[in-house]
A and B are shown apart, each in its own frame.
Chain A
Amino acid sequence: MEMTRREMLVKSGKFILLTSAAAAAWDYVLAGKAEAAPNYDMTKHWWAMVIDPEKCIGCGNCVRACETENDVPEGYFRTWIERYHVDDWDMEHPQVDSPNGGHDGFPEKYHDGGKTFFVPKMCNHCADSPCTQVCPVGATFITPDGVVLIDPKYCLGCRYCIQACPYGCRFFNPKTNTADKCTLCYHRITQGLTTACCEACPTQARVLADLKNPKDPIHAFLRTHSVQVLKPQMATHAKVFYKNLDGSVR
């Protein structure tokens, strides 16, 4: 069959248009529906967390709750607890341990001299996060409500972000072959719940806070207490605030 140039162009135009429409439709089917959070407006929140090391008893409830809630692979941690032991004359050289991330609590170790305390750790959801800066494809990003997330369907698994995090909060998830970290239980907080770790903490050593909510008690707390972030010299605008943090903590 003879085909004029015009017919050929029209036909190929239709072909290209229709196949892309079909591809778009297929993508739509595959993507499914976003998890509904009908009453949630991400522009109205700016999430943070307050941690009080003096209240932490090192029970490991938060680590276990996080593991269960988020399917964290064994040996990796979205949150963990450190035990510090500091001799009164040697603040520069604390002894630190975190057996299995504090998952199973801490066996007695220090009996005399110095001070011993627990420090829960997690992603600091930095406002100027070095991890999102270095991602080559933007698979990790800061949400408008201030949470640092990773898109596991987009992450290349290059692990540059893990290197860039000053706090050791990221790990390479061997199940997904992508970078992984605390999501601040985004699936929960957008539904009006608190994070799994906060919910499981028996002493309220960690409390979720919304800096954009004028009624959140965090404002009064920040005004009336001495607070510190980890490694302030990194200038990452970390949003996990520690109450009366000891100078030996790093």
Chain B
Amino acid sequence: MGTLLHGVEGYMYPNEVELQWSVLIVLYPYITGLVAGAFILASLERVFKVEAVKPTYRLALLVALAFLLVAPLPLQLHLGHPERSFEMYLTPHRSSAMAMFGFVYLWYLMIVLLMEIWLDYRKNIVEWAETGTGLKRWIYRILTLGSRNVSAAALRVDDRVGYFITLIGVPSAFLLHGYVGFIFGSIKANPWWSTPLMPVVFIFSAMVSGIAAVLLLYMLTSKLRRTPIDMRCVDTIGRYLLYTFVIDFSLEMLDLVHRLYEADESLRALDFMVHTRLFFSQVILQIFIGTLLPIALLGLTQIVKLSEGARKAIYVAAGSVTMISIFAMRWNVVIGGQLFSKSFLGYTSYKMAFATREGLLPAIILVLLPFLILYVLVKLLPPWPKREAAV
């Protein structure tokens, strides 16, 4: 060992030197995680009757939609033959976890998210179709889907159906993201991935990232709209962020302790990787800065009585490092799982290009794209009462 050649240390099987899954595949679980997390936050209000988070309900749904629309793009960009991706719908291979992607995605987009948003906005859409002018009027007219009945009885039906959809939406969100975890967790060839905890860890980290994203976006949009932040709302969201983060961290630590204690044939190789190539992204970024720091900050708000300003600052800081932490977690799973040889005798490096098909530039564009979509969605379907919508 010890010879450094083209970023390879020790022995890699010759076909392993090149990484197969790039930063785009890091983005994919990151984005679907935000979708699932934002949706679960929205469902808190609807299903679990947590009234305090109501101001974020519609925003959370729109965030989920904006990110869900972008979710398949990194995959498409990554495929060697994107033009054949439709074959997954036509001839899905039943034993493949990945073949489920298209169906889970369509189910979640068409049945859960679009239906719930439409039912929730239907009354407003009909209103806007009547009061709007020009192009907007036509857009809203199309969005009514021909249903203009907003009688009390009809709205009651909307509400019941919406509630039911949220009810099936929660397990669907678990499915959407748990299945992404399963894609990794079920690969027995790769000890870094292969653990039944993977889908569960993915679900909880998804909730953490989605809650943090909605918290930040709610505070940001309130600031932009010059409306006061509902402290009861952000305090509640901050508390839920803390709870889910503690569960998420405990699960990851359980995984770590289990690996260390069991100490199977892969431990030496994985341990070396965590202490070298993944040290910054895993130990520093994900665990210390990205997890322990926000847990400590959020914990502080529960123990000490802090002023509104201090709490707001803590939520912004904790939310921001959380977003970085969960990205680092996805990175460490996807990239980390490819840095060591399946012979456990060596390590390779990931060289990320910039303006290539799978480089940093398309990754940055794909991260920004949901915000652009969200901007359009918020303009089209303002998630807050109309009189406040005018900035």
Interface residues in chain A, defined as those with a beta carbon under 8 Å from any beta carbon in chain B: 75-77, 80, 82, 94-98, 100-101, 121, 130, 133-138, 154-160, 162-172, 176-178, 234, 250
- In angstroms, how far is the closest chain B Cβ from the Cβ of A121? 8
Q: Say whether A136 contacts B21, CB under 8 Å.
A: no
Nearest chain B residue, comparing its CB with the CB of A178: B80
Given known A-B contacts A156-B87, A159-B21, A167 and B98 have beta carbons under 8 A apart: no
Task: Tell me which of B1, B84, B88, B189 contacts A164 (CB under 8 A).
Answer: B189
Q: How many pairs of residues, A versus B, come closer than 8 Å at their CB atoms?
A: 120
CB neighbours (8 Å) of A160 from chain B are 96, 98, 183
Q: Does any Cβ of A come within 8 Å of B20's Cβ?
A: yes
Contact of A96 with B343 at beta-carbon distance under 8 Å, contacts A134-B96, A137-B88 already known: yes
Pick from A138, A172, A178: contact of B18, CB under 8 Å: A172
B361 sits at the interface (CB 8 A): no
- Of the listed residues B13, B75, B91, B98, the one surrounded by the most CB atoms of chain A closer than 10 A to its CB is B13
- Residues on A with C-beta less than 8 A from B84 are 137, 154-156
Q: Which residue of A lies closest to B84 (CB)?
A: A156
1/0 contact string of B10-22 vs chain A (CB within 8 Å): 0111111010110
CB-based contact A136/B343 at 8 Å: no
B379 adjacent to chain A (CB < 8 Å): no
The minimal Cβ–Cβ distance linking B16 to chain A, given in whole angstroms, is 5
For the complex of A and B, 10 pairs with smallest distance between CB atoms: A157-B80, A168-B13, A177-B80, A166-B189, A138-B93, A136-B99, A136-B98, A96-B11, A171-B15, A159-B20
Closest to A172 in B: B20
Give every chain A residue within 8 A of B91 (Cβ-Cβ).
137-138
Say if the beta carbon of B188 comes within 8 Å of chain A. Answer: yes
B341 touches A156 (CB 8 A): no
Given contacts A130-B187, A137-B87, 9 further A-B contacts (CB under 8 A): A133-B96, A136-B99, A155-B84, A158-B98, A159-B20, A160-B96, A162-B20, A177-B80, A250-B345
A177 touches B81 (CB 8 A): yes
State the main secondary structure of chain B at its contact with A. loop
Known: A94-B345, A137-B93, A156-B79. A163 touches B21 (CB 8 A): yes
| C-alpha gap A87/B337 in the complex (Å) | 29
CA gap between A36 and B78 in the complex, in Å: 36
Complex Cα spacing A169 to B13, Å: 8
Are B93 and A136 in contact, with the CB atoms below 8 A?
yes
B-side contacts of A134, CB under 8 Å = 95-98, 187
Cβ of A77: which chain B residues have Cβ within 8 Å of it?
14-15
Once bound together, how far apart are the Cα atoms of A150 and B325, in whole Å? 38
Q: Are A167 and B92 in contact (CB under 8 A)?
A: no
**B342 and A167 form a contact (CB under 8 A):** yes
A97 contacts B11, CB within 8 Å?
Answer: yes
Query: Are A158 and B189 within 8 A (Cβ)?
Result: no
Residues of chain B lying within 8 A (CB to CB) of residue A138: 91, 93, 96
Q: Is B147 an interface residue (CB 8 A)?
A: no
Say yes or no: is B344 at the interface (Cβ < 8 Å to chain A): yes
- Cβ contacts B330-370/A at 8 Å (1 or 0 each): 00000001100111110000000000000000000000000
> What CA separation (Å) do A97 and B324 show in the bound complex?
38
Complex Cα distance, B14 from A171, in Å, reads 9
Q: Determine how close the nearest CB of chain B comes to the CB of A209; give it in whole angstroms.
A: 24
Report chain B residues within 8 Å CB of A155: 80-81, 84
Residues of A near B96 (CB, < 8 A) are 133-138, 160
Q: Which residues of B contact A96 (CB under 8 A)?
A: 11, 343, 345
Measured CA separation A157–B88 after assembly (Å) = 12
27 of the cross-chain contacts (CB-CB < 8 Å) are A80-B14, A96-B345, A98-B13, A101-B14, A130-B187, A130-B189, A133-B96, A134-B96, A134-B97, A134-B187, A137-B87, A137-B96, A138-B93, A155-B80, A156-B88, A158-B79, A159-B80, A162-B15, A166-B188, A167-B342, A168-B12, A168-B13, A170-B15, A171-B15, A171-B18, A172-B18, A178-B81
Choose among A98, A100, A156, A170 the residue that contacts B81 (Cβ–Cβ < 8 A).
Answer: A156
| B79–A168 touching, CB < 8 Å | no
Smallest CB gap from B25: residue in A: A159
A76 and B15 form a contact (CB under 8 A): yes
| B101 is an interface residue with CB less than 8 A from chain A | yes
CB neighbours of A250 from chain B (8 A): 343-345
B190 contacts A by Cβ under 8 Å? yes
Residue of B nearest to A158 (CB): B79
CA distance A250 to B13 in the complex (A): 10
Complex Cα–Cα for A173 and B14 (A): 14
B85 sits at the interface (CB 8 A)? yes
